[in-house]
């Protein structure tokens, strides 16, 4: 049995009445969030000067809003009560993340940018290709829910004027068939190819992207010519937003195809750790990875591998995978950014840069897979970190983030 929290995002097909409801619910959620954020700041300041008053917390703020909303904000009652309540709970989590130094101080939500609201699982119902929303009724979805299990929550959001619902499910699906027995693979993420495998295969990103990126330039120029505040400008803006949305979807799809392909074939996968701050400097990364974030790639690999009983070995990011010879472990002092091939001075073997890096990742994954990750099925947050190879030279510590 696979037990993990998975979310399925589904496009909705709302009619005009439903669209209006969504906009109002999102407006209510935004208002409640911003009200609570302002209140939080005020109460915090008060608690500093007056020791008798308590510092703010989200549960108290929810009770406070509940006690005044009938009087002061009666329009809040037109939509699901979850909209304001869950928004304040989200603010509570935002403050938790801020206090744990995982995030910045929460910002006010803005109309048109943060159009979203959430509903708790006891307040909605999913039936085939429709979802029932309090004070509204059934709304059509474009797909059925992909996962079975205990439904946790639903979040509604607007992107490029399309509405989506993301349904979180504590997945109880039977595990997927185990990966084919193709052994260990190392995956090097790159700019010439989306990914290079230690088998020598290369995986390219979606082909449709280049043409669409051309349209982005065309539409951006069209938008720039429109008069500020005009109806035509709004239309051009939406057209551009829709295009960006489409590009993001194609990229996401490419990433999903890559991670599904890998986890379906290989029980053990070695990848390099590409941290967020490092990524900004890393021109070697394909746009797909750069845009989606390495974290997303890793997240997908990890949950997909877990569903098949496989494992991901994340190799330390200081390990010089590109300039270490996969044959004799000789480490080059330096390897130029654009040098696609190099010949090892130690053993004389000619290397393709990316394939060699992938083979190094594979070797580390193969040697550390069992010891680093054990055989027990750990949770989603499991970190499998391989130790850097012993050959690593400290003098050579200038990172290979080319």
Element (H, E) at 153: strand 149-159
* Contact between 267 and 179 (Cβ < 8 Å): yes
Considering the complex, state which of residue 356 and residue 368 has its C-beta at the smaller distance from Zn ion: 356
Q: Is 386 exposed, middle or buried (0-12, 13-18, 19+ CB in 10 A)?
A: buried
**Residue 188 falls in the annotated catalytic set:** yes
Considering the complex, state which of residue 194 and residue 344 has its C-beta at the smaller distance from Zn ion: 344
Cβ 326 to Zn ion shortest distance, Å:
8
Cβ 346 to Zn ion shortest distance, Å:
4
**Residue 296 falls in the annotated catalytic set:** no
Specify the DSSP class assigned to residue 75: G
Considering the complex, state which of residue 280 and residue 328 has its C-beta at the smaller distance from Zn ion: 328
Tokens of 306: 């877990």
* Contact between 169 and 147 (Cβ < 8 Å): yes
Contacts of 141 (CB under 8 A, 6+ apart): 10, 11, 12, 13, 129, 130, 131, 165
Catalytic residue among 58, 115, 272, 400: 272
* Contact between 242 and 160 (Cβ < 8 Å): yes
**Longest CA span, the chain:** 81
Tally of residues, the chain: 402
Say how far apart CA 268 and CA 321 lie, in whole Å: 18
Count other C-beta atoms under 10 Å from residue 249's C-beta: 13
Beta bridge partners of 167: 8, 154
Cβ 342 to Zn ion shortest distance, Å:
10
Considering the complex, state which of residue 145 and residue 344 has its C-beta at the smaller distance from Zn ion: 344
- Name the H helices within 266-384: 276-281, 287-292, 294-307, 353-373
Residues near Zn ion, by CB under 5 A: 325, 327-328, 330, 344, 346-347
Considering the complex, state which of residue 183 and residue 327 has its C-beta at the smaller distance from Zn ion: 327
Catalytic residue among 18, 115, 306, 354: 354
**Residue 272 falls in the annotated catalytic set:** yes
Cβ 331 to Zn ion shortest distance, Å:
10
Q: Of 329, 355, 331, 330, nearest to 341 (Cα)?
A: 355
Q: What three-state secondary structure class fits 128?
A: coil
Catalytic residue among 58, 188, 306, 400: 188
Cβ 339 to Zn ion shortest distance, Å:
16
Specify the DSSP class assigned to residue 275: -
Cβ 367 to Zn ion shortest distance, Å:
18
Q: Measure Cα distances from 397 to 164, 186, 318, 387, 393 in Å.
A: 46, 22, 7, 15, 7
Considering the complex, state which of residue 35 and residue 342 has its C-beta at the smaller distance from Zn ion: 342
* Contact between 275 and 294 (Cβ < 8 Å): yes
Considering the complex, state which of residue 195 and residue 344 has its C-beta at the smaller distance from Zn ion: 344
Catalytic residue numbers, as ranges: 188, 272, 354
């Amino acid at each position: 049995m696979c037990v993990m929290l998975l979310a399925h995002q589904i496009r909705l097909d709302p009619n005009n009445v439903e669209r209006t409801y969504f906009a109002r619910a999102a407006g209510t959620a935004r208002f409640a969030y911003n009200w609570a954020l302002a209140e939080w700041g005020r109460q915090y300041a008060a608690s500093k000067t007056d020791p008798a008053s308590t510092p703010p917390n989200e549960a108290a703020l929810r009770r406070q809003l509940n006690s005044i909303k009938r009087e002061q904000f009666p329009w809040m009652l037109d939509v699901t009560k979850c909209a304001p309540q869950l928004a304040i709970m989200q603010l509570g989590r935002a403050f938790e993340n801020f206090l744990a130094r995982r995030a910045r101080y929460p910002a006010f939500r803005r109309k048109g940018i943060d159009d979203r609201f959430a509903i708790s699982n006891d307040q909605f119902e999913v039936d085939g290709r429709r979802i029932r929303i309090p004070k509204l009724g059934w709304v059509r979805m474009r797909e059925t829910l992909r996962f079975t299990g205990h439904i946790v929550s639903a979040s509604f959001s607007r992107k490029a004027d399309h509405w989506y619902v993301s349904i979180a499910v504590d997945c109880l699906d039977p595990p997927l068939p185990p990966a084919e027995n193709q052994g260990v693979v190392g995956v090097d993420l790159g700019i010439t190819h989306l990914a290079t495998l230690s088998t020598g295969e290369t995986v390219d990103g979606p082909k449709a992207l280049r043409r669409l990126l051309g349209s982005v330039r065309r539409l951006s120029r069209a938008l720039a010519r429109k008069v500020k505040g005009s109806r035509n400008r709004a239309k051009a803006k939406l057209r551009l937003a829709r295009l960006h949305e489409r590009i993001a979807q194609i990229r996401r799809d490419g990433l999903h195809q890559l991670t599904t392909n890998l986890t379906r074939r290989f029980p053990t996968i070695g990848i390099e750790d590409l941290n967020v701050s490092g990524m900004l400097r890393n021109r070697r990364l394909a746009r797909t990875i750069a845009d989606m974030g390495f974290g997303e790639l890793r997240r997908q690999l990890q949950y997909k591998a877990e569903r098949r009983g496989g494992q991901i070995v994340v190799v330390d990011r200081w390990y010089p995978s590109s300039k270490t010879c996969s044959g004799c472990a000789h480490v080059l002092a330096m390897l130029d950014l654009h040098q696609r091939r190099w010949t090892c001075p130690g053993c004389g073997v000619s290397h393709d840069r990316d394939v060699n890096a992938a083979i190094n990742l594979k070797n580390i994954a193969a040697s550390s897979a069992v010891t680093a990750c054990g055989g027990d099925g750990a949770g989603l947050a499991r970190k499998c970190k391989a130790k850097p190879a012993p050959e690593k030279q400290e003098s050579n510590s200038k990172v290979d983030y080319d």
